[in-house]
Structure 1
Amino acid sequence: MRLPTAMAPLRDRPFRLLFTGQAISLLGDGMAPVALAFAVLDATGSASDLGWVLAARSGAMVALLLVGGVIADRVSRRVVMVAADLTRVAAQAATAALVLTGTAQLWELLVLQATFGAAMALFYPALTGLVPATVRPEALQQANALRAIATSGGQTVGPALGGLVVATAGPGWALVADALGFAVDAYFLVRLPAIAVARTAGRFGRQLIEGWQAFTSRTWVWTVVVSASLGNMLFAPVMILGPVVAKQHLGGAVGWGIILAFFGIGSVAGGLLALRLRPAHPLRLGVLTVSLWSLPPLALAAGWPLWPVVTAGLVGGAGLAIFNVLWETTLQRSVPREVLSRVSSYDWFGSLVFQPVGQAIAGPVGGALGSPLTLFLSGAGVVVTCLPVLAVPSVRNLVSADPGSAASVPAEA
């Protein structure tokens, strides 16, 4: 595939605006994991406290995802996303102020990150539903691949920059950058023109049931989501115990930032590969590549030096990015637009529902078993939850849908 064809979605102004805002905000957001991790560790010295802060964010997100999906199918997805961005600006700016003034208390961080998570619950189902309306059907996979590259770019540059900012100026300033990124994204979303998308009307509960029926009627959807749910829970210790291991013998914030950055570089490479891929059976390939996600925790568990761990992150990031592009494109092409945000919300909900559990128990389990054994169980568990999904015929044999097959009668955005 020639580059002009791969970049075709950027010729469409709506997608170009959406992509630009996302790319900028993701850079700031890539700094946040490093900043938040070391803000909590510096304040309390407790990996368990970090786990609770991250669990508060993801727990609030999980709790409100289904609500976010229904809202995104009922009203303008663009308006929902702007409101979510502005909420995240407020949450991260307040967190930054507390960290910069040295007055942050654990309960304040819990409340603010829960608010941030609630905004995420509104944003992501709306985003999944909006993307297909911003590009031509035949360019949808390229659009998702470009989004994955932007996400990966944020994960590449953001953590490295975040590590440097944390090491030189402190974590508060990295959180300021995150807040500014969401403000920029809101600006570009406001500039987005009115887009024809499907809307639904009716009772909230009835719409929730319709989304559940659309979700459960597709075995390939809920099977992959169950696998992702367990995998995300088992991977959670990496983000809790990884900074602890880095602080002990991988160079602290700078070393952890490098590891996350190369995970992002791998994700960029995976996104570039996804621009060219045209698999007849997208989920078959996706499940195989996402199993590579197990490599970072296994490398950390083995006690390897920095650069072998970095290499594991590189390969794991590529595998995860390829899966995400193939999964989201398959979902957008195979699910009717009028229920897409609701099905996406069940996808997000199911995929993340146990992640707060993994985050909350990672510190205590790591303290009881030791970080190496906990991280080994994390990596091995990811493999065990991924590969058996290929035994499900509807996952293994699902054929890529024709572009535009999920199109429905449009309504004004």
Structure 2
Amino acid sequence: MSRLASALPVLHQRNFRWFFLSRAINTVGGMMTPVTIAFAVLKIDNSASALGVVLTAEMGMNVLCLLFGGVIADRLPRRAVMQTCYLVMAAVQLTMCFSLLSGWATVASMTVLGAISGGVSAFSMPAQQGLIPQLVTREQLQQADSLMSFVRNGATFIGPVIGTVLVASLGPELALAVDGLSFLGAAVLLAKVVLPPAARSATSMLTQLREGWSEFISRTWLWVVVLAFGILNAIQMGVWVVVGPVIAKNNPQLGISGWGIVLGAEAVGMLLMSVVLMRVHIHRLLLNGMACISLISIPLLLLGIHPETRVLAVAALLGGAGSQVFGTAWTVAMMEQIPSAVLSRVSSYDMLGSFIAIPIGTMAFGWLASHIDIRPLVIVAGCCYALVALVTLLVPSVRGLTRLPDQPSDKGELQTTP
């Protein structure tokens, strides 16, 4: 850690170091969760419909709770909100473990626990987004986000592998126990983060929701990009998650193993770019971000034009790198431009607008792929993706948004290593 801290100034901040360690453990555990829960459900009822019910409950509750999660994260100390979420997630995972070991687990009980898990994540995500600006200086925001992205992208590989190994060697019950313990460990490490007491709000939750909406809608660059991502995420999830595996399975130039290579290349692109962005400064945040996110249209188009493993893997790597540029630029823009007091609420509106159309996209593309020729559908979708991403740059506040000048940090909020 000392060598890493000397290489990355953001790790000189004591609070951020503990936050980083906590999030690293939590992220790996979180990436294990889908694997462990999936095999736990399939042990009870070996059917795709049963798993679909549990996952739908989880995602549905997440969307329903997002706005309230943002309000709570702005009303209460964000560290406490995150710790509570980690402890509840640990309880959910350990309850699943006990129910499987004792034999009383059912699809219904797993659905309820899955819904609790989805709801809890709706509170932890806005709290995390709002906490980071309290831990680092403004000039370190990009480096902090890139470092967190590096961990997240690395966990995309490690987490599912660990989860699969644990399920295969210990069974889904004990794999869930290990997963639950990772959340407990993250909560303990987060206790090391010490911040000044937050001012308590005397306004009602409804008033705070309106305040968050007012902050959200008052910034044209913000709602324009969120509106665009409502469409972009629906297209990407519909094509990449629903139609992509169908094309892979039925195309000898790609195949299921080739599709795995393509998905791996996408994650590698994100991982490598997160390393680059620890050092390279993004100045024109959304101009670069939206231009780079349009690169995702390339693998979407090639999926319809020439679905061959090597070509598609290169395109996916490029798309993954572009996705990471946007992710970092967007996070920095939000943290710099939105007042800390309302950041969690505004983030919840961002997440809601970006995620809400995903189920529509998956259902629509699933239906269309069953009724029309798939490859022209994918090509048109890829063109639409590029068009929507680039059209946002016609908005002056989107293409003109730049980094704010550096300023001295608030002494009460940051602690450095003695």
TM-score by length of 2: 0.82
Provide the identity percentage: 36
Which residue pairs with 1:222 in the alignment? Answer: 223
Cα distance, 1:172–1:365 mapped onto 2, change above 3 Å? farther
Q: Quote the Cα distance in structure 2 between the aligned partners of 1:247 and 1:173.
A: 33
1:34-66 residue CA offsets vs partner (Å, 9 max, x unmatched): 5566777895554x7666544432322121111
1:190 counterpart = 2:191 = yes
Q: Quote the Cα distance in structure 2 between the aligned partners of 1:36 and 1:65.
A: 22
Is the 2:167–2:175 Cα contact (8 Å) retained in structure 1? yes
Between 400-409 and 212-221, the greater mean CA deviation after superposition:
400-409
Which residue pairs with 2:212 in the alignment? Answer: 211
Is the 1:336–1:406 Cα contact (8 Å) retained in structure 2? no
Q: Indicate the RMSD between aligned Cα atoms, in angstroms.
A: 3.7
Is the 2:5–2:11 Cα contact (8 Å) retained in structure 1? no
Q: Quote the Cα distance in structure 2 between the aligned partners of 1:169 and 1:375.
A: 41
Which residue pairs with 2:271 in the alignment? Answer: 268
1:256-312 residue CA offsets vs partner (Å, 9 max, x unmatched): 665544433221212122223333321000001112233454455567355544444
Q: Quote the Cα distance in structure 1 between the aligned partners of 2:107 and 2:363.
A: 14
Between 29-38 and 286-295, the greater mean CA deviation after superposition:
29-38
Cα distance, 1:144–1:165 mapped onto 2, change above 3 Å? same
Cα distance, 1:239–1:110 mapped onto 2, change above 3 Å? farther
1:344 counterpart = 2:343 = no
1:183-217 residue CA offsets vs partner (Å, 9 max, x unmatched): 22222112222346565331111111111111111
Is the 1:61–1:117 Cα contact (8 Å) retained in structure 2? yes
Secondary structure in 1 matching 2:401: coil
Which residue pairs with 1:288 in the alignment? Answer: 291
- Give the residue type in structure 2 aligned to 1:22: R
Between 91-100 and 151-160, the greater mean CA deviation after superposition:
91-100
How far is the alpha carbon of 1:346 from its aligned partner? Answer: 1.1
Which residue pairs with 2:416 in the alignment? Answer: none
Between 100-109 and 176-185, the greater mean CA deviation after superposition:
100-109
Which residue pairs with 2:391 in the alignment? Answer: 388
1:13-49 residue CA offsets vs partner (Å, 9 max, x unmatched): 1111111111122123234445566777895554x76
- Give the residue type in structure 2 aligned to 1:235: Q
Residue correspondences, number: 407
Secondary structure in 1 matching 2:191: helix
TM-score by length of 1: 0.83
Q: Quote the Cα distance in structure 2 between the aligned partners of 1:134 and 1:122.
A: 19
Q: Quote the Cα distance in structure 1 between the aligned partners of 2:33 and 2:374.
A: 23
Which residue pairs with 1:85 in the alignment? Answer: 86
Which residue pairs with 1:397 in the alignment? Answer: 400
Mapping 1:109-128, distance limit 5 Å: 109-128=110-129
1:48-94 residue CA offsets vs partner (Å, 9 max, x unmatched): 76665444323221211111111111111111111212222333445
1:102-126 residue CA offsets vs partner (Å, 9 max, x unmatched): 9876544443332221111100111
- Give the residue type in structure 2 aligned to 1:339: V
Is the 1:51–1:360 Cα contact (8 Å) retained in structure 2? no
Q: Quote the Cα distance in structure 2 between the aligned partners of 1:300 and 1:228.
A: 21
Mapping 1:35-54, distance limit 5 Å: 46=48, 53-54=54-55
Mapping 1:358-377, distance limit 5 Å: 358-361=361-364, 363-369=366-372, 376=379
How far is the alpha carbon of 1:336 from its aligned partner? Answer: 1.2
1:323 counterpart = 2:326 = yes
Cα distance, 1:409–1:158 mapped onto 2, change above 3 Å? closer
- Give the residue type in structure 2 aligned to 1:205: L
Between 224-233 and 360-369, the greater mean CA deviation after superposition:
360-369
Between 372-381 and 133-142, the greater mean CA deviation after superposition:
372-381
Q: Quote the Cα distance in structure 2 between the aligned partners of 1:382 and 1:101.
A: 49
5+ long unaligned stretches in structure 1: none
Which residue pairs with 1:239 in the alignment? Answer: 241
Which residue pairs with 2:149 in the alignment? Answer: 148
Q: Quote the Cα distance in structure 1 between the aligned partners of 2:215 and 2:227.
A: 16
How far is the alpha carbon of 1:374 from its aligned partner? Answer: 6.0
Q: Quote the Cα distance in structure 2 between the aligned partners of 1:392 and 1:398.
A: 10
Between 272-281 and 299-308, the greater mean CA deviation after superposition:
299-308
Between 135-144 and 292-301, the greater mean CA deviation after superposition:
292-301
Cα distance, 1:265–1:166 mapped onto 2, change above 3 Å? farther
